[in-house]
Amino acid sequence: MTKINAVLFDLHWTLAYVRKEDEVTSEELSDYLFSRGYEVSPQQLKAAWMFVAFVDYPKYGYKSWRSYFSRILWRLKVKVDKETLETIAKRLQERPYRLQWDAAEAVRKTKENNFKTAIVTTIAYFQFKNAIKPIKKYFDFIMTGYEAGCDKTNPRMYKKVLEILNVKPEETVMIGDDVQVDILLPKRLGMHAILLDREKKNEECSHADAVVNNLSEAVETVIRKISIS
């Protein structure tokens, strides 16, 4: 049985989340822009937002909501006044990522068992840096779209983090909640993968080496090497 030397963690919904009551919708932002005299529909916002998240951020690495949303507006060829931009940036800052209840203990235990660790996500670092402050010291590397130069569906992100950690794919376990990105892609690269199914929706996922309901169970699975061969 191959020795596991590294554990990779997804960010969104795995380590951290945004409460539903804190979410800012495209409809809400569109309504505000219309009220300020700028004709931007919700679908336009969604399309531009996705482009910035998956194409522009990996290239330019924006470090604040102001610069991030400025790029979204630039994509839409809409120039707004300073007050409008600052109001939107402030509203977005009020939708913070929060650490999952089981993240701190699980990540600490991973490190105490001498595994190399990393976060693997497309999400811009400034969006979740405050949430992970309590656990940042337990990670050897934080890989976002900017560090990788691509989004997470590109195998290059995984290959780069393996290179940085100096581990082989078969020595590595990925833990995440997205079947396509956190399970199937790592498996194609020769890695192990554990599906975090907090809502118990994918208990029969045959592609995962294990399906768990919380991070503590995921880390225990790695430590005991149950279902990982």
The residues, any chain, with a CB within 8 Å of residue 43's CB and separated by 6 or more, are 26
State whether residue 196 is helix, strand or coil.
strand
The residues, any chain, with a CB within 8 Å of residue 142's CB and separated by 6 or more, are 118, 119, 125, 132, 136
Stated length of the chain: 229
What is the model's pLDDT at position 227? 46
State whether residue 210 is helix, strand or coil.
strand
What is the model's pLDDT at position 204? 72
**Residue-wise pLDDT tens for the chain (229 aa)?**
679 999 999 999 999 999 999 999 999 999 999 999 999 999 999 999 999 999 999 999 999 999 999 999 999 999 999 999 999 999 999 999 999 999 999 999 999 999 999 999 999 999 999 999 999 999 999 999 999 999 999 999 999 999 999 999 999 999 999 999 999 999 999 999 999 999 888 667 889 999 999 999 999 999 987 545 5
The string of DSSP codes covering 9-22 is: E--BTTTEE--GGG
Model-level pTM? 0.96
CA–CA separation, 23 and 2 (whole Å): 42
How many of the other CB atoms lie within 10 Å of CB of 175? 28
Superfamily of domain 6-18+98-224: HAD superfamily/HAD-like (3.40.50.1000)
